[in-house]
């Protein structure tokens, strides 16, 4: 009310007052419009901290003289303690903020320590539910967007709209925490409407601004699907926002469909008639009834991220994911892998014929402005283009912890025209195998990290197209014999090897081109 010049002086003067109340070695920073953070290091105990906070409070008692204006100010303080309250900076700041809000609520001009009670109160069900009821009106909700990438072209073809709630005291609350509350309290209906409206408006605005046109996926909860007029509502939102219908996709969980068993078909058919796509979210974690997949108009399956985690190394996850991919292929559905965190998992999924990926490896969910900037750059996913299915019958991988062995094998096979991959550790081998479709895997038996038997066993499940060969020390004969059945190896040879025999054995194994891979275009 007194103008910017006086406001600036007030802030500088306040900063100075705080600085004189603390030691040289402490840190004072301004972190928001009228918020300061103070870091007090190496204090003896909590009492010592309270003394300093009293000094800071006292520093504000005298009047400010600002360009002739007399102003009175008070400080409201909240604090948290390391290591008592938390161990990381982010949580400590958040907790101090919770304590600060509590100070303000009780009139301000005081200081208060964070306590578990304060947090528990703010985070308790009734409080959360009450706060959530006002979240839209208080402008606390926002959408983040995470890209969906087509594995064949390497291009961004869609985005998932993910809801974020910025709670005044608790900071960002995870949707995993508040969506269930929204569902149980019925608030999800109004929140869901807000989400649809916001996501469609945003998508249309980006398209009008000339950004690449991508589909937006919006998560629909079971309760929303249960609304009798959900189809009308979505048609209305599409009309209002003028978003072309084929750019909206809805993500529904299996359990939402089961909960709406009688009406789900009608509703999804209505959406299909509108030109809106539906995909099944978190596929594999819900009910195991699969008959609905044949009966309902479903566009894609999103394989739950628990199955995607380390899929290029974990035979169990690979088996489930591969089975879903092949089932989806036969049913004419697309497969989206969510939660892809590493390049080798993405490459492996591409090799297995997965259509689309989404995950931290490509991008975290981003606030709208950041996502627009992301969309504006041309995207080609680095590295993933390298997988070359046609070369598989010319590609072999050799795993041996002895570099000399690797070197002499490469020398021996140099003129054979193979694409030779070498690794000294299983982990490295799995990464290479994820990126290069391979016809033959040759492994040593005795290695420090993982035995050759275990390694080949996993290869058999992860890369069933590849033949397996053991190249072991002569004294491992017995281990070889017992492992032949377990691993299903093609051949075994002993070290030191006979050059001629080894060359022939490899030629023999790699003579035929492999059957086409799932994903081969």
237 binds ligand C2E (CB under 6 A): no
At its nearest, how many Å lie between ligand C2E and the CB of residue 141?
A: 9
Residues 6+ apart with CB under 8 A from 188: 179, 182, 221, 223, 224
Distance of CA 55 to CAs 20, 99, 115, Å? 9, 18, 22
d(CA 388, CA 391): 6
109 Rama sector, left if φ>0, alpha if ψ -120 to 50, beta otherwise: left
Measure the CA angle with vertex 383, ends 380 and 385; round to 5°.
70
Shorter beta-carbon distance to ligand C2E: residue 171 or 175? 175
Lay out the site mask for ligand C2E across 185-214 (x = CB under 6 A, - = otherwise): -------x--x-------------------
521 binds ligand C2E (CB under 6 A): no
The one segment of 172-180, 344-352, 383-391, 427-435 that binds ligand C2E by CB under 6 A: 172-180
Shorter beta-carbon distance to Mg ion: residue 338 or 345? 338
From 203, 219, 351, 438, residue interacting with Mg ion (rule: CB under 5 A): 219
Lay out the site mask for ligand C2E across 339-378 (x = CB under 6 A, - = otherwise): xxx----------------xxx----x-------------
Binding to Mg ion (CB under 5 A) within 271-300 occurs at: 281-282
From 14, 103, 203, 219, residue interacting with ligand C2E (rule: CB under 6 A): 219
Shorter beta-carbon distance to ligand C2E: residue 113 or 252? 252
Measure the CA angle with vertex 317, ends 461 and 472; round to 5°.
35
162 binds ligand C2E (CB under 6 A): yes
d(CA 408, CA 310): 32
Other C-beta atoms within 10 Å of 94: how many? 20
Residues 6+ apart with CB under 8 A from 483: 445, 452, 453, 456, 470, 489
Shorter beta-carbon distance to ligand C2E: residue 216 or 466? 216
Would you call 202 helix, strand, or coil by DSSP? helix
Q: Residue 317 touches which of Mg ion, ligand C2E, none (CB < 5 to 8 A by kind)?
A: none
d(CA 93, CA 85): 10
At its nearest, how many Å lie between ligand C2E and the CB of residue 254?
A: 12
Measure the CA angle with vertex 96, ends 93 and 98; round to 5°.
110
E-strand stretches of 138-290: 141-150, 156-167, 171-173, 215-219, 248-253, 277-283
At its nearest, how many Å lie between ligand C2E and the CB of residue 251?
A: 6
174 binds ligand C2E (CB under 6 A): yes
At its nearest, how many Å lie between ligand C2E and the CB of residue 112?
A: 31
Q: Residue 163 touches which of Mg ion, ligand C2E, none (CB < 5 to 8 A by kind)?
A: ligand C2E
From 67, 176, 515, 521, residue interacting with ligand C2E (rule: CB under 6 A): 176
224 binds Mg ion (CB under 5 A): no
- Residues in contact with ligand C2E, counted by CB under 6 A, come to a total of 23
For residue 56, the Cα-to-chain-centroid distance in whole angstroms is 42
Q: Residue 519 touches which of ligand C2E, Mg ion, none (CB < 5 to 8 A by kind)?
A: none
d(CA 300, CA 184): 28
Taking a C-beta distance cutoff of 8 angstroms, is the pair 456, 443 a contact?
A: yes
Binding to ligand C2E (CB under 6 A) within 53-82 occurs at: none
Task: Burial-class residue 227 by CB neighbours within 10 Å (0-12, 13-18, 19+).
Answer: middle
Shorter beta-carbon distance to ligand C2E: residue 66 or 222? 222
At its nearest, how many Å lie between Mg ion and the CB of residue 273?
A: 23
d(CA 100, CA 116): 14
Binding to ligand C2E (CB under 6 A) within 322-341 occurs at: 338-341
Shorter beta-carbon distance to ligand C2E: residue 53 or 163? 163
Q: Say how many CA atoms lie within 13 Å of 333 toward its Cβ.
A: 25
Binding to ligand C2E (CB under 6 A) within 265-284 occurs at: 281-282
Q: Return the structure tokens found at 36.
A: 């300061």
356 binds Mg ion (CB under 5 A): no
Would you call 240 helix, strand, or coil by DSSP? helix
Binding site for ligand C2E (CB under 6 A): 146, 162-163, 174-176, 179, 192, 195, 219, 221, 251, 281-282, 305, 338-341, 358-360, 365
**Interface contacts to Mg ion, rule CB under 5 A:** 219, 251, 281-282, 338
């Amino acid at each position: 009310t007194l103008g910017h010049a006086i406001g600036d002086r007030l802030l500088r003067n306040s900063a100075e007052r705080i600085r004189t109340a603390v030691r040289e070695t402490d840190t004072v920073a301004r972190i928001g419009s009228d918020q300061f953070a103070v870091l007090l290091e190496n204090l003896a105990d909590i009492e010592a901290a309270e003394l300093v906070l009293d000094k800071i409070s006292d520093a504000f008692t005298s009047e400010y003289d600002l360009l002739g204006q007399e102003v009175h100010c008070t400080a409201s303080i909240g604090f948290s303690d390391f290591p008592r309250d938390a161990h990381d900076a982010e949580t400590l700041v958040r907790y101090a903020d919770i304590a600060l809000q509590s100070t303000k609520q009780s009139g301000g001009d005081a200081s208060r320590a964070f306590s578990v009670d304060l947090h528990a109160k703010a985070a308790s069900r009734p409080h959360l539910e009450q706060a959530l009821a006002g979240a839209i009106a208080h402008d606390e909700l926002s959408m983040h967007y995470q890209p969906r990438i087509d594995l064949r072209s390497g291009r961004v073809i869609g985005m998932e709209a993910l809801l974020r709630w910025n709670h005044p005291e608790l900071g960002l609350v995870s949707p995993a925490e508040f969506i269930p509350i929204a569902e149980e309290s019925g608030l999800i209906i109004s929140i869901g409407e807000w989400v649809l409206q916001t996501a469609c408006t945003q998508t249309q605005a980006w398209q009008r601004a000339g950004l690449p046109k991508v589909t937006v996926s919006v998560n629909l909860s079971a309760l929303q699907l249960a609304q009798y007029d959900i189809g009308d509502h979505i048609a209305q939102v599409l009309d209002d926002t003028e978003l072309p219908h084929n750019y909206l996709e809805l993500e529904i969980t299996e359990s939402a469909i089961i909960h709406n068993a009688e009406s789900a078909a009608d509703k999804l058919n209505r959406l299909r008639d509108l030109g809106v796509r539906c995909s099944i979210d978190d596929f594999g974690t819900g009910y195991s009834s699969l008959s609905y997949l044949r009966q309902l108009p479903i566009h894609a399956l999103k394989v739950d991220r628990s199955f995607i985690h380390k899929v290029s190394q974990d035979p169990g996850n690979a088996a489930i994911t591969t089975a879903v991919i092949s089932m989806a292929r036969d049913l004419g559905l697309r497969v989206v892998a969510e939660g892809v965190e590493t390049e080798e998992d993405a490459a492996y999924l591409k090799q297995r014929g997965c259509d689309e990926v989404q995950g931290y490896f490509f991008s975290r969910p981003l606030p709208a402005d950041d996502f627009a900037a992301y969309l504006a750059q041309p995207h080609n996913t680095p590295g993933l283009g390298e997988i070359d299915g046609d070369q598989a019958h010319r590609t072999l991988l050799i795993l041996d912890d002895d570099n000399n062995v690797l070197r002499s094998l490469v020398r021996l096979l140099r003129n054979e025209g193979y694409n030779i991959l070498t690794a000294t550790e299983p982990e490295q081998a799995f990464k290479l195998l994820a990126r290069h479709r391979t016809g033959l895997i040759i492994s040593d038996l005795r290695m420090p990290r993982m035995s050759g038997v275990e390694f080949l066993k996993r290869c058999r499940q992860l890369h069933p197209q590849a033949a397996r060969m053991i190249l072991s020390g002569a004294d491992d004969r017995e281990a070889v014999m017992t492992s032949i059945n377990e691993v299903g190896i093609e051949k075994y040879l002993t070290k030191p090897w006979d050059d001629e025999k080894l060359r022939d054995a490899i030629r023999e194994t790699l003579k035929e081109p492999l059957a086409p891979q799932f994903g081969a275009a």
